[in-house]
Amino acid sequence: MDSARFPIGLFDRAAASLDHKAAIAILAALPENMRSAVSGLSDAQLDTPYREGGWTLRQVVHHVADSHGQAYARTRMALTEDWPVIKPYHEALWAELSDARTAPVELSLELLASLHARWVLLLQSLTPEQWERGYDHPESGRHTLTQVVALYDWHSRHHLAHITSLRERMGW
Ligand code: NI
C-alpha cells in the first residue's frame, strides 16, 4: 500500500466502527482540524502536491468541502426519500476545475465550518430507525447512514493526514 496516498489505510467498510457518537465527534472537529492543518502555510506550500502526482494541499481542502457537500445532501435525501439512487460525480475532474486549483483555502474552511455545523446538528437528531435509512450508490450499492458517517469519519482523517504528513516530511 502507498502510505503517502493512504496515510491511515483504506476505508474498511466491514471493519468500520458503528459508533455514531465517535464518528460525529470527528465530523464536528474536522473544520477546526483542517484550519489548523493548513495554518501558516504560504501559497507556494499550499500549491505543493501532498505526494508525487497527487493533489496540491489547496486541492485537498477544496475536495473535502466538495465531497462533504455531496455527503450532506445525500444524508438529507436518505432521510426524506425511500433509498434514493444518488448521483456519483467525477471527483478528480471537480478537483481540476479552476476554483478548486486556485481559490483561497479560507473559502472552503468557512464552507466546511457551516456545512459541518448543519450536518452534525442533523446527525445528532437521528433516531435508531433513521440511522438505518440510506441511499443506493450506483457503483458501490446500498449504504445506511450508519455506514455513511463511518465513511466520512475515515474520509476526514484520511485527507487531514495528507496535509499533516506532508508538513511532517517537509519540516513545515
Ligand atoms: Ni477524498
Domain ranges of the chain: 20-35+57-170
Ligand 1 centroid to residue 145 C-alpha, Å: 18
8 Å CB contact between 135 and 143: yes
Residue 16 pLDDT grade (very low, low, confident, very high; cuts 50, 70, 90)? confident
Ligand 1 centroid to residue 152 C-alpha, Å: 9
Ligand 1 centroid to residue 156 C-alpha, Å: 8
Give the residue carrying C-alpha cell 483561497: 104
Class of domain 20-35+57-170: mainly alpha
Ligand 1 centroid to residue 4 C-alpha, Å: 14
* Residue in 156, 159, 150 with CA at minimum distance from that of residue 22: 150
Ligand 1 centroid to residue 80 C-alpha, Å: 25
Q: Which tens digits make up the pLDDT trace of 31-87?
A: 999 999 999 999 999 999 999 999 999 999 999 999 999 999 999 999 999 999 999
Rounded to two decimals, the pTM is 0.96
Ligand 1 centroid to residue 90 C-alpha, Å: 11
